[in-house]
Amino acid sequence: MAGVSRFACVLVAHFAAAAVERCEPALREQPLAVLTQTANIKILVDANAAARERDVRSGMTETEAAARCPTLVTRSHIEEHVAAARHALLEAALAVSPRIEDGGAGIVYVDTAGLERLIGDPEAIGRRLVHQARTVGLVARAGVAGSRTAARVAAASASVPVTVVAPGRERAALAGVPLGVLDLDPPLAATLARWGVRTLGEMAALPREGVTIRLGPAGLRAHDQALGRDHEPFRPWTPPPFWEEAQGLEWEIESLEVLTVVLETVLTRLCGRLGAAALAADVLDIRLGLASGGHHARVVSLAYPMSEVKPMLALVGLDLEAHPPPAPVTRVAVSAHPIRAQMGQGGLWQPPVPAIRDLVSVLARLAALVGTDSLGSPTLVDSHRPDAFAMLAFSPPTEPDAPARGDVEPRLALRRMRPARRVDVAVVGERPARVDAQHVVACAGPWRASGEWWDTEAWARDEWDVALGDGALCRLARDRLTGHWYLDGLYD
């Protein structure tokens, strides 16, 4: 590919602040500082662009920063926010190219080889990367160049979203960039400053042997970077089996309604990541940090792969309603198992069935109402024991059945008594003559049945169909092991 640079770098400046903005998008327009507590003092870890315009810098104390910018909004540094944002950026890049490298917090290198046939020229690839980053809530810049270092420097030093360095022009393109973009060790940066080296071009112009002798491996590495050369091999990044989004809270949540609002925020971010990578989740792992110091963990199976917030939130909410956390919640973390869902289409002649997303939601609500054991499709068990059935999860077949074999003769249905009701039966000539207070008009039987005599659950009974004086047609059973009579059910 003669005309296409091979690497792109996606860079999110001031990443700790960007991670907070991702959790609270409303803070984007305000000066924001991220603080960490050290001893008795709060130190600025990072600040967004609006705060930096007001001379707020990392390393300041909270008081100093507030003095420079009275409207400064502060948030605590939460490691989970940064980790989640870092993974989100990696996954966004992964949706563009299968070969990416984790370059640290807020930096992702992308191998663009072959992408021009899919996406277009390097400018288009850069725009796609920036767009993907935006879908996961991060404002990024992209640089495209012949090496990762050149691409990173191009992205870091530019003021436009996408910068493309022409092939073979790396050194010239980087020459005017200040040395500060390389993030050199302070002693090395101080030495170079004493030498009067202020730009990458001046650094690249230094004799290589002399730099090696005087500055050692760190100097040689800086020299390579100034020339736009990569020092280390490309290390492809593989996504972890679970994707996690977390939200630390500065207050305790006691009600499920408020917890649902926080969960919606977390799930929105998670679904944004899934959607950006064209993936879906089939299992959610909810982990709630409690004020008591413990954890409340729930695993919510989604029944079908989904990446929509609304049904996920409904299922998680119903699960937490059935199994509420035992103490106030101080932290919310949601992990998703991402899978690639294959889209399906119903048959043209297939009768309409409930949409899976509607069905899953209504089944979850019904399960919360009546219990999971009381919900599903009945299936007959291979047994002669009366009323032998099992409940299966409701999953109607998607394939249409074979055509019916003509009209089936209408059959009489039985209404079962559960449990069978014990009745007093008067017997005349070995046939029932009276059931409780009702006299028997007619009866048929007995039908003898027994089973499991080889086990402790042995049963043996005589069944009678009995018409009573009040018009009821019922099935009676005499337990031959105990001699008791039971009303099994009513024909209706």
Partner 1 sequence: MERVVAARGEITEIVGRPSSGRTSLLVACLRDVAQSGETAALVDTEETFDPASAAQAGVDLRRLLWVRCGGRRDVALRAVDMLVRCPGFALVALDLGELVVRLPATLAFRLKFAVRRADVALLIVGRRRLTGASATLAIETRSQAIEWAGPGPAPTRLARVRTTTAVLRARHAPPAESPSRWWRA
Structure tokens at 414: 């039985």
Least distance (Å) between residue 400 CB and partner 1: 5
Which of 59, 233, 410, 483 touches partner 1 by CB under 8 A? 410
Binding mask 323-362 for partner 1 (x = CB under 8 A): ---------------------------xxxxxx--xx-xx
Contact status: 3 vs partner 1 (CB under 8 A):
no
Looking at the DSSP bridge assignments, the partners of residue 160 are: none
Least distance (Å) between residue 19 CB and partner 1: 40
What is the C-alpha separation between 5 and 384, in angstroms, rounded?
Answer: 74
What is the C-alpha separation between 262 and 36, in angstroms, rounded?
Answer: 23
Contact status: 406 vs partner 1 (CB under 8 A):
no
Q: Kindly report the number of other CB atoms within 10 A of residue 266's CB atom.
A: 22
Cβ proximity to partner 1: between 261 and 369 the closer is 369
Which of 217, 241, 397, 483 touches partner 1 by CB under 8 A? 397
Cβ proximity to partner 1: between 255 and 374 the closer is 374
Stretch that binds partner 1, among 67-75, 168-176, 295-303, 369-377 (CB under 8 A): 369-377
Contact status: 433 vs partner 1 (CB under 8 A):
no
Least distance (Å) between residue 479 CB and partner 1: 19
Cβ proximity to partner 1: between 370 and 458 the closer is 370
Least distance (Å) between residue 379 CB and partner 1: 6
Sign, CA dihedral 190-193-197-201, equals: positive
- Whether residue 274 contacts residue 283, with contact meaning beta carbons closer than 8 Å, is answered with no
Amino acid code (one letter) for 2: A
Contact status: 409 vs partner 1 (CB under 8 A):
yes
456-468 b/e with 16+ CB inside 10 Å = b? eeebebbbbbbbb
Cβ proximity to partner 1: between 19 and 487 the closer is 487
- Whether residue 406 contacts residue 483, with contact meaning beta carbons closer than 8 Å, is answered with no
Cis check for the bond before 419: say yes or no (omega within 30 of 0). yes
How many residues does this entry show for the chain? 492
Least distance (Å) between residue 86 CB and partner 1: 40
Which of 1, 369, 426, 433 touches partner 1 by CB under 8 A? 369
Least distance (Å) between residue 321 CB and partner 1: 14
What is the C-alpha separation between 203 and 201, in angstroms, rounded?
Answer: 5
- Whether residue 417 contacts residue 425, with contact meaning beta carbons closer than 8 Å, is answered with no
Q: Kindly report the number of other CB atoms within 10 A of residue 248's CB atom.
A: 17
What is the C-alpha separation between 371 and 357, in angstroms, rounded?
Answer: 20
Residues 16-35, interacting with partner 1 (CB under 8 A): none
Which of 396, 428, 437, 457 touches partner 1 by CB under 8 A? 396
Which of 54, 287, 365, 484 touches partner 1 by CB under 8 A? 365
Least distance (Å) between residue 402 CB and partner 1: 10
Cβ proximity to partner 1: between 59 and 403 the closer is 403
End-to-end CA distance of the chain: 79
For the stretch 81-85, contacts whose Cβ atoms lie closer than 8 Å and that sit 24 or more positions apart, written own/partner, are 81/19, 81/20, 81/22, 81/23, 81/246, 81/247, 81/248, 82/15, 82/16, 82/19, 83/244, 83/246, 84/19, 84/244, 84/245, 84/246, 84/269, 85/12, 85/15, 85/18, 85/19, 85/22, 85/137, 85/138
Least distance (Å) between residue 264 CB and partner 1: 22
Structure tokens at 478: 């005499």
Binding mask 437-476 for partner 1 (x = CB under 8 A): -----xxxx-------------------x-x---xxxx--
Interface with partner 1 (CB under 8 A), residue total: 58
Which of 189, 262, 327, 417 touches partner 1 by CB under 8 A? 417
Cβ proximity to partner 1: between 26 and 380 the closer is 380
Comparing CA positions, the residue from 128, 131, 113, 138 lying closest to residue 23 is 138
Cβ proximity to partner 1: between 230 and 462 the closer is 462
Structure tokens at 287: 């982990």
Cβ proximity to partner 1: between 172 and 381 the closer is 381
206: helix, coil or strand?
Answer: coil
Cβ proximity to partner 1: between 299 and 362 the closer is 362
Contact status: 254 vs partner 1 (CB under 8 A):
no
Q: Are strands 162-164 and 141-145 parallel, antiparallel or unpaired?
A: parallel
Residues 100-129, interacting with partner 1 (CB under 8 A): none
Structure tokens at 178: 């200040």
Q: Kindly report the number of other CB atoms within 10 A of residue 118's CB atom.
A: 11
Contact status: 366 vs partner 1 (CB under 8 A):
yes
Cβ proximity to partner 1: between 122 and 432 the closer is 432
Residues making contact with partner 1 (CB under 8 A):
350-355, 358-359, 361-362, 365-366, 369-370, 374-380, 387-389, 391, 394-397, 400-401, 404, 408-418, 431, 442-445, 465, 467, 471-474, 489-492
